[in-house]
Every structure is written in structure tokens, then in C-alpha cells.
Amino acid sequence: MFKGILIEKDEAGYRAGLRDISEEHLPPGDVTVRVLYSTLNYKDGLAITGAGPVVRKFPMIPGVDLTGIVEESTDADFKVGDQVLLNGWGVGEGHWGGLAEMARLEGKWLIPLPKGFTAAQAMAIGTAGYTAMLAVIALEEHGLTPEKGDVLVTGANGGVGSFAVAILAKLGYRVIASTGRVAESAYLNQLGAAEIVDRATLSEPGRPLAKERWAAAVDSVGSHTLANVCAGIKYRGTVAACGLAQGMDFPATVMPFILRGVTLAGIDSVTRPRADRVQAWDRLATDFDVALLPLISREIGLSEVVEVSAQLIAGQVRGRVVVDVNR
């Protein structure tokens, strides 16, 4: 038996809670992992609270991230005792995930725990930091350099936003942070933001084409915010889109793209090839200051997950939540 957060849906309704689960119920997979840490991402919050149609089959253990130690393996790339990391691959949606003491997974979804990080640090970074790094790499691949101008980060108090601010600042960019929690500006300044703007200036319907303000942007918000960001990007700038906290709609026009040559780069972190994952984590080891992790993240136990998930969806959680699944 092992403990885990189990989401169930039946005649009695939709519910999630801490349960004792038999190992015989673990799904098929070629690597069995004793989980050390997981996290609470926005997607996990949607799944646990039922606020979004994330879970594709029931019952389900949520948790799109995990680190742990291999206990059994028939995959040639991993042996018993290896420390491993997982981000994405539909885990926590269609396959039991990391918010439990045990997980059975496909070896192709795993990478070795990146050098330079402990299991807890890797989860403090998690999918949020990994996605932010993928976004920064995409901006660089489209020609962004610090000399080009300011870089906007929306949803800056969230997980992806916090890491994007910190990474870009360390790389020498002047970062403009957009947030709905302007009272927490000091936090964003500590991460490296040079300027803070209220998200209200971007979240309402705006002009199809606005004044050129930013050389590039990392957007984790979507909807009107993403439309306004694209409208304000400088000539031949790039927007890396990786979230939909405001909504999945995109009420925009083609004007920024055909009049200014703006690029909208979609950032998929779920099914990225292993080489991209390793590259992103290698970059995190050099381009992110791990000394910031205590500022960005906090740790909870499995018994607190359901309560904190509700707070996350309500916009009351800053940065990252690491889950020690063994307490």
C-alpha cells in the first residue's frame, strides 16, 4: 500500500482526497519509481478542484511532475537506484502521476535527475521553470538579445512567470513584469524585474495594433492579455505563449504579424523530445540562480494538497509549491 491523492468521479460526484492505494492498482509501465517530491502546477489545481476538464479517465492520481528513485525497471536506460525526473507526457491527466508515494511510468518519459540539482530543487523548478526555460530558448532562437530592448513577462507572480523573470534578468535583459498583485512588487524586484505593471493595463480588449513597447514577451495568461502583448511587440519581435490563466481564446487580429513581422511561438512542454528536455535543464543549471528557490517556492505535505489546490486556482498562491509526498 502507498498514499496518494486520488481523484474520483462517479454517481456520488467529483472528489479528490488523500487515500491508501494498493500497488496492484498502479497502471502499466516499464519503470516503477519511489517518488520523493512532486509539485502543484496550475494544471494539477484544475484537476484536483475539478475547475477544468484536465482528467481524461478516472480514478486518477494527479501530478505532472515528479522526482524519485527507480525501484524496478525493464527499460535499458534506467536501473534500480537511479534518480529520475519527469515533466509532462500526460501524466496526471491520462496516466497516474506524481502526487503519491509510488508511480509506474514509461521509461521514455524520464530523464536522469539533472546534475547540480537535488530532488527537492528539481521539483521547486519543475514544469514551471522548465517551461520558462523553453520559452527563453525560443526567444533566443528567434534572434532576441539584450540589446534589442525590454522583455515583458505576464503572469509574473505565477510559477512560469517567476522563473521567466529570474532567468531573463540573469541573462542581462531588462524585464518588465505584469501582475495582478502589484502589492508584491518587492518579490518581483528581488527576482530581477526592472519595472512592474498592473495586469489590468493588458487584460481588457485593446487596439489591434498598439505602440511598440517590448522586444519580446513570455506570456502565461492568454486571451485579451496575449492579444494586447502581440499588439505592443516591436518590429520582428517574438512572443512565447505558454499558458492560458485568463482564457484559451485569442481575440486578436493578424495586424501585428503581417505589419510588424511579429512571431507567436507556441511553447509545448508536455511532449517535448528528450533532447529538448535535457537542453532546457542544462541551461537551467547555468542560467538560473538556485539561491532564489527559497523565495520562489515553499514545501507542503500530501495532506495539504487539496486545500492548497483551491488556493492556487483562486490566485492566492505565489510562485511554486513543492510537495514532499512522504509527509
- For the beta carbon of residue 236, count every other beta carbon within 10 angstroms: 13
Is 296 found in the same domain as 256? no
Residues 176, 195 contacting (CB under 8 angstroms): yes
Q: Indicate whether 120 belongs to any domain.
A: no
- For the beta carbon of residue 10, count every other beta carbon within 10 angstroms: 9
Question: Which of 206, 127, 203, 215 is closest to 175 using CA atoms?
Answer: 215
Q: Indicate whether 119 belongs to any domain.
A: no
CATH of the domain at 60: 3.90.180.10
Q: In the structure grid, which three cell numbers stand for residue 273, read together? A: 523530445
Is 148 found in the same domain as 241? yes
CATH of the domain at 170: 3.40.50.720
Distance CA 68, CA 34 (A): 5
Q: Indicate whether 271 belongs to any domain.
A: no
Residues 305, 18 contacting (CB under 8 angstroms): yes
Is 188 found in the same domain as 74? no
| Ordered per-residue pLDDT tens for the chain, 327 residues | 999 999 999 999 999 999 999 999 999 999 999 999 999 998 999 999 999 899 999 999 999 999 999 999 999 999 999 999 999 999 999 999 999 999 999 999 999 999 889 999 999 999 999 999 999 999 999 999 999 999 999 999 988 999 999 999 999 999 999 999 888 899 999 999 999 999 999 999 999 999 999 999 999 999 999 999 999 999 999 999 999 989 999 999 999 999 999 999 999 999 999 999 999 999 999 999 999 999 999 999 999 999 999 999 998 888 899 999 999
Q: Count the domains in the chain.
A: 2
Would you state the pLDDT for residue 317?
A: 87
Is 162 found in the same domain as 94? no
pTM (predicted TM-score): 0.92
Distance CA 294, CA 185 (A): 17
Q: In the structure grid, which three cell numbers stand for residue 185, read together? A: 512588487
Would you state the pLDDT for residue 318?
A: 83
| Cell numbers 511587440: residue | 233
Domain span including residue 65: 2-113+290-324
Distances from the Cα of 4 to the Cαs of 88, 261, 318, in angstroms?
Answer: 18, 48, 24
Is 253 found in the same domain as 301? no
Pairing, β 175-179 against β 102-105:
unpaired
CA angle, corner 133, sides to 202 and 322, nearest 5?
Answer: 90
Is 99 found in the same domain as 181? no
Is 81 found in the same domain as 150? no
Is 144 found in the same domain as 171? yes
Is 56 found in the same domain as 144? no
Is 197 found in the same domain as 137? yes
